[in-house]
């Protein structure tokens, strides 16, 4: 399996656009720990950046688990 991502980090707005979710839904997932973000320095006003590498790795792991389960059920 090969996964290619175009950028290691992206903004909440851009992930919302790409995924079709609302920015609020993305922020809720961040607050719940479902989406990893780059740590900001204290007092920084930089944008919250989402770790796209972590999301891609999670998706790959999930795809492999589903594929293995489907293969096992065919036997």
- Arithmetic mean of pLDDT, 3-9: 92
Q: Is residue 37 scored above 90 in pLDDT?
A: yes
- Residue 42 confidence (pLDDT): 84
User: Which residues touch 19 (CB under 8 Å, ≥6 apart)?
Assistant: 26
- Residue 41 confidence (pLDDT): 82
How do residues 15-34 score in pLDDT, each as one tens digit? 999 999 999 999 999 999 99
Q: Is residue 75 scored above 80 in pLDDT?
A: no
Domain spans of the chain, in order of start: 9-73
């Amino acid at each position: 399996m090969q996964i290619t991502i175009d950028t290691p980090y992206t903004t909440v707005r851009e992930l919302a656009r790409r995924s079709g979710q609302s920015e609020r839904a993305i922020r809720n997932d961040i607050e719940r720990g479902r989406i990893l973000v780059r740590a900001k320095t204290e007092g920084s006003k930089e944008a919250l950046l989402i770790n796209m590498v972590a999301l891609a790795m999670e998706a790959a792991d999930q795809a492999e688990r589903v594929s293995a389960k489907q293969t096992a059920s065919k036997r």
